[in-house]
């Protein structure tokens, strides 16, 4: 039987930045600008849904 590794549904801003290869500041700006949805758990913990993060990325159109 083959084991499967699955990503968590939510990532911290640092984990999200590593996942897509950008800085934490880029993630923070995208959240502040409303480009990337984020969720608060408690008063300080911020989490980003993996599907929202992947939807935030967009392909570069060829010229």
What global pTM score does this model have? 0.80
> Could you tell me the residue ranges of all domains in the chain?
10-56
Task: Specify the pLDDT at position 4.
Answer: 73
Q: Which residues contact 26 (CB under 8 A, 6 or more apart)?
A: 17
Mean pLDDT of the chain: 91
Task: Specify the pLDDT at position 1.
Answer: 57
Q: CA nearest 41: which of 7, 12, 8, 9? A: 12
Average pLDDT over residues 20-41: 97
Higher pLDDT, 26 or 61: 26
Q: Tell me: pLDDT of 8 over 60.
A: yes
5 band by pLDDT with thresholds 50, 70 and 90: low
């Amino acid at each position: 039987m083959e084991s499967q590794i699955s990503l968590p549904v939510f990532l911290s801003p640092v984990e999200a930045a590593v996942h897509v290869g950008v800085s934490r500041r880029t993630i923070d700006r995208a959240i502040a600008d409303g480009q990337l949805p984020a969720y608060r758990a408690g008063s300080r913990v911020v989490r980003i849904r993996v599907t929202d993060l992947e939807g935030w990325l967009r392909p570069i159109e060829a010229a």
